[in-house]
Amino acid sequence: MELSKPKILIVDDVNANSRLLAKKMSDEYECYTAMSGEEALERIRMHSPDLVLLDILMPGMDGFEVCRRLKADGRTRDIPVIFITSLNEDEDEAKGLALGAVDYVRKPFRMPIVKARIRNHIELKIARDLLESQAFIDTLTAMPNRRRFEEIMDKEWFRAMRKGHPLSFVLVDIDFFKNYNDNYGHQKGDECLRKVGRVLKESLCRSSDFVARYGGEEFAIILPDTDEQGVQLITGNIRDNLLSLGIPHDYSDVAPLVTLSQGAATIMPEEGLEPEGLIEAADKALYRAKEYGRNRVEFYS
C-alpha cells in the first residue's frame, strides 16, 4: 500500500507564488494553498497539514497573527510554521521565531535550500508524532487511552458544531469485573479487557467512529454524525458480538457470561455548550443502566 504524502499548506496572497511552490514540491508533498490569513486558518482546520509555509505581508490578518493564533490553539500549536517572506530585517525574523515558527526564509530564495529545510522539519515532526502516539496508547489493550480520547472528543465536538451535525457518546462498563478479577485472576482479567476492547472496535461501523479505554473496566466511544437510532445500532452490535464470544463469568449476578452496561447520549453541539456536558449525560445513563440491573443500554434524554 502506497504511503500518503506529508501535507503542506502554502499561504501567500500572490497566487502565482503559491502555485510555483506547490508545483516544485508536489512530487514529495500533498500541497494546499491559501491566499489570506482567514483562509489559512480554515484550511488548517480542514486538512491538518504537517507543515505551514507562511507569508507575512498579507492584507487583513498578517502572517504573524496567523502564527500567533496557531500556537495559541492546542489543536494546531504543534504544526511547524516556516515564514517565507520579503521582510529582511533581523527584528522581523526574531519576532517570527519568538512567535513559535521553526524557521524563517527570506525572499528571493533558492528552491533546493527551501526543500531541504522543509524536509528536515517534516522529518522532525514525524519523529515527534511517533513518540506522542506512543503516549496515547493504553499498553494493556493497545487501544487509544483517555488522553487520546480527550483530544479526539475536542476535535469531533468542534467539527460537529461547525457542520451542524449530531454527536453521540457511549460509556461502556464490564459488569461485575471486580468479581471476575478476584476469582479468575488478574491475568485472565487482562485477557478479558483485551477481548472486550476488540469487540468494541469490531462493532463500530465507520472509520470516524472512535473507541478508547477510559479507565479500569470502562471504555468510551465517540460516534460523530450519529443520532440516537445510530447509537442503538452500534450498542446492539456490541451486545450481540460480545455474547457470541461466550466469555464465562460464573461470578456475575446477571448472567453466566461477561456482559456490559452501556450509557449513551446524543447532542447537537452549539455555542455555549461543552463536551463535558455530553460525557456527564452518558455517565448518568450508565449509572441508570447499572441501577436497573446491568447488561443493558440506557439513553440519556
- Please give the positions annotated as active site: 217
**In which element (H, E) is residue 7 found?**
strand 7-11
Instruction: For residue 6, give the nearest of 30, 23, 34 by alpha carbon.
Output: 30
CA–CA separation, 14 and 60 (whole Å): 14
Output DSSP code: residue 144. Answer: B
Which grid cell sits at 167? 454527536
Burial 145-177 (b: 16+ CB within 10 A, else e): beebbeebbebbbebbeeeeebbbbbbbbbbbb
Residues 6+ apart with CB under 8 A from 219: 143, 171, 172, 173, 196, 197, 200, 211, 212, 213
User: Per DSSP, what are the bridge partners of residue 211?
Assistant: 221
Return the SS3 of 260. Answer: strand
Q: CA dihedral in degrees (89, 93, 96, 102; nearest 10)? A: 160
